[in-house]
Structure 1
């Protein structure tokens, strides 16, 4: 793992601890609200474990934040220009999913995230990660098999989907080629 990614994991862990402590929550309270074990929370907060996309979604849902907002608070510095070399990169240790935060930190209620989903990879996210926000998914390259609750969408390059009410979602790349897509998140709070 690269130093830059290790550093992001440490920043994410520190941010989760800050968010938990700002709410006056114990490890047990965050565990109850997120469905993540106390032991795993402790490992993530100390930077000893890289959180998966599912864990990040559970933490963000417990805090009432979008996953993008939680990660931006951990990773980003203020400024109107965010150069490619400075865009925070995070890799899900389970799926190999690579997430690059593209939009600069600002007071705009919008986040833009670039995702690389490897061939045959699958990422499931709970409905709690979509509360208080609207999402657009725009396929930039390849194909994305996306399940939103009970609804399945087979998306091709150039397709853009607006998500409906929060529901459990699955992002899957069933092809032999990587899939690249952008997620545009608009906060509704």
Structure 2
């Protein structure tokens, strides 16, 4: 049986390439729009590099997608019911951040993403990742420091943050315990 994370990584490589081509973008144009080098994009598209969450966020934003939409396209299957054991799970190779796409597919305007952020992890995303979305973060367990541009929000269990206008952001777990949170995105 194939390792699900390997097959998802292979599918992500094909998806980035096909979306880029469908948008009429060259590798150089995607590199300019995303801030990711042409060499790295080529490696990602060949499946020769395991992309990080930050890198995928940059590519998704430059392609006009959310990270969840990119992962859902890679997963490739629409379901009305998203059973937990069938939800796409992706682990960032750089930080161990685990991301579960709770909602099914790419068809609707709402996305729910459950994230487990390990102690000491920091995941930063450029403003383009949040463009065209309403974005809220609800902390389920642990502590989360959310950096929204120059503003810092310290969040604990049950706290919910509604993001303002799109700007560079970072999810930070500077505690000794794991942090679990739910991200809710609604496309504007």
Q: Do both share a fold (TM > 0.5)?
A: yes
**1:140 corresponds to:** 140
1:115-150 CA-to-partner distances (Å, cap 9, x unmatched) read: 000011111111110001111100000010111001
Task: Note closer, same or farther for the CA distance 1:107–1:166 as it changes in structure 2 (3 Å cut).
Answer: same
**1:131 corresponds to:** 131
> 1 CA distance for matches of 2:62 and 2:130?
11
1:65–1:132 CA contact under 8 A, matched in 2:
no
Runs of 4 or more off by more than 6 Å in structure 1? none
> 1 CA distance for matches of 2:3 and 2:119?
25
> 2 CA distance for matches of 1:72 and 1:29?
23
> 2 CA distance for matches of 1:9 and 1:106?
18
**1:178 corresponds to:** 178
The size of the alignment, in residue pairs, is 187
1:97–1:121 CA contact under 8 A, matched in 2:
yes
**TM-score, normalised to structure 1's length?**
0.95
Give the CA RMSD over aligned residues.
Answer: 1.2
> 2 CA distance for matches of 1:44 and 1:164?
31
> 2 CA distance for matches of 1:53 and 1:106?
19
Residue 71 (structure 1) shift: 1.4
- Structure 2: state its 5+ residue gaps: none
Alignment of 1:82-161 (within 5 A): 82-105=82-105, 107-161=107-161
